[in-house]
Amino acid sequence: MTGAILHAAENIKGGVGTYLRDLLAMQRESFGDGVVTALLPASQASIVHAPAGVEIVTFDDRGPRWLSTLRLASCMRQLMAQKKPDVVHLHSTFAGAALRPLLRVVGARAKIVYCAHGWAFDRDTSFASRMVAKLLERILSHWCDAIICISRHEMVLAERIGIAADKLLLISNGIPRDNPRVAWNPADVEWPEGKRRVLFVGRFDRQKGTDVLLAALGELQDTTHGYLVGESVLGDGNELVLPPNARATGWLSPNEIEVFYRSADVVVVPSRWEGFGLIAAEAMRAGLPVIASRVGGLVEIVEDGVTGVLVPPGDAAALVAALRDTSDDRLDTMGRAGRQRFLRHFTMERVHRQITELYNSGLRETAGST
Region at 336 (left for phi over 0; alpha for psi -120 to 50; beta for the rest): alpha
Average of per-residue pLDDT across 108-112: 91
Q: What pLDDT is attached to residue 367?
A: 34
Q: What digits encode the pLDDT tens for the residues 145-180?
A: 999 999 999 999 999 999 999 999 999 999 999 999
**209 CB contacts (<8 Å, ≥6 apart)?**
270, 271, 272, 293, 313, 314
Q: pTM surpassing 0.85?
A: yes
What CATH topology corresponds to 186-345? Rossmann fold (3.40.50)
Q: What pLDDT is attached to residue 363?
A: 55
**80 CB contacts (<8 Å, ≥6 apart)?**
6, 88, 103, 106, 108, 110
Average of per-residue pLDDT across 233-262: 85
Q: What pLDDT is attached to residue 106?
A: 87
Q: What digits encode the pLDDT tens for the residues 263-318?
A: 999 999 999 999 999 999 999 999 999 999 999 999 999 999 999 999 999 999 99
Average of per-residue pLDDT across 317-340: 97
pLDDT confidence tier of residue 108, bands split at 50, 70 and 90: confident
Q: Are 227 and 199 in contact (CB under 8 A)?
A: yes
Does the pLDDT at position 235 exceed 90? no
Q: What is the CATH number of domain 5-176+348-369?
A: 3.40.50.2000
Cβ-in-10-Å burial (0-12, 13-18, 19+) of 190 comes to exposed
DSSP 10: S
Average of per-residue pLDDT across 216-221: 96
Q: Give the E-state strand segments of the chain in sequence order.
A: 5-9, 36-41, 55-59, 87-91, 111-115, 146-149, 168-170, 196-201, 224-229, 246-250, 266-269, 290-293, 308-311
Does the pLDDT at position 2 exceed 70? no
Does the pLDDT at position 234 exceed 90? no
Q: What pLDDT is attached to residue 225?
A: 98
Domain ranges of the chain: 5-176+348-369, 186-345
341, HSE (Cβ side, Cα atoms, 13 Å): 23
Other beta carbons less than 10 A from residue 304's beta carbon: 13
Q: What pLDDT is attached to residue 13?
A: 83
Does the pLDDT at position 365 exceed 60? no
Say whether 186-345 and 5-176+348-369 share the same fold: yes
Q: What digits encode the pLDDT tens for the residues 43-100?
A: 999 989 899 999 999 999 999 999 999 999 999 999 999 999 999 999 999 999 999 9
